[in-house]
Amino acid sequence: MRTKTDFLDIIKKNNPRLKIDQIERAYDLASELHADQMRKSGEPYLSHLLEVGEIVARLGLDTDSVSAGILHDIVEDADISVEEIHRSFGAQVSTLVQGLTKIKGVKFKSYHEKQADYYRRLLLTMAEDVRVIIIKLADRLHNMRTLKYHDSVEKQRRIAQETMDIYAPLAHRFGLAEIKWELEDLSFKHLDRRSFDFIKSKLERKRPARERYVADMIKPLLQIMAENHIRGEVSGRPKHIYSIYKKMTRQGKSIEQLDDLYAFRIIIGANQSFVRQFFDDHAGQKMGSSDKKETHEKIEELRRKDRQREQEEISQLYSLLGVIHQRFPPIPGAFDDYVASPKSNGYQSLHTTVIGREGKKTEIQIRTYDMHRVAELGIAAHWRYKERSVSDKYLENLVPWVRELLTLDDDSDSSTEFLDLLKKALTTKRIILFTPRGEIVQMQENTTPIDFAFAIHTEVGLRCRGAKVNGRMVTLNYRLNKGDCVEIITYPKAKPTRGWLDIAKSSKAKSKIRKALREQEFQQNLALGRDKLTRELKTRHIDLPKDKKLSDLLADLKCASLDNLHEAIGSGKQSISPIIKRLAPQIEREEQAIEEIAEEFRRQSTVVIDGVDNVMMRIASCCQPVPGDDAVGFITRGRGISIHLRTCANISHISKHQKEDSNRLVNLTWGLKESRTFLSQIYVEGKNRRDMLANIIQTIFALNIHIRKNETVSKGKQFFGRFLLEVQGNDQLIKVIKKLGKLDGIHTVGRERMFKSK
Active site residues: 76-77
Measure the CA–CA gap between 63 and 15, rounded to whole angstroms: 9
Give the phi and the psi of residue 167 in degrees, each rounded to 5.
-75, -40
Quote the CA–CA distance of 604 and 269 in Å, as a whole number.
102
In the three-class reduction of DSSP (H, G, I as helix; E, B as strand; rest coil), residue 98 is classed as helix
* Three-point CA angle 123, 129, 134, nearest 5°: 75
Contact 369, 317 (CB under 8 A): no
**φ, ψ of residue 444 in degrees (nearest 5):** -75, 160
Among 20, 117, 110, residue whose Cα is nearest residue 66: 20
List the one residue out of 10, 127, 114, 129 whose CA is nearest residue 70. 10
Amino acid code (one letter) for 660: E
The span from the CA of 677 to the CA of 614, in Å, is 15
Terminal C-alpha separation, the chain: 102
- Contacts for 195 with CB less than 8 Å, ≥ 6 apart: 188, 245
- Closest listed residue to residue 632, CA positions, set 654, 599, 660: 654
Q: What SS3 class is residue 569?
A: helix
Cα-to-chain-centroid distance, residue 242 = 32
The neighbouring-strand residues paired with 437 are none
Name the residue type at position 661.
D
Counting every residue written for the chain, the total comes to 758
Give the CB-side neighbour count of residue 718, counting CA atoms within 13 A: 7
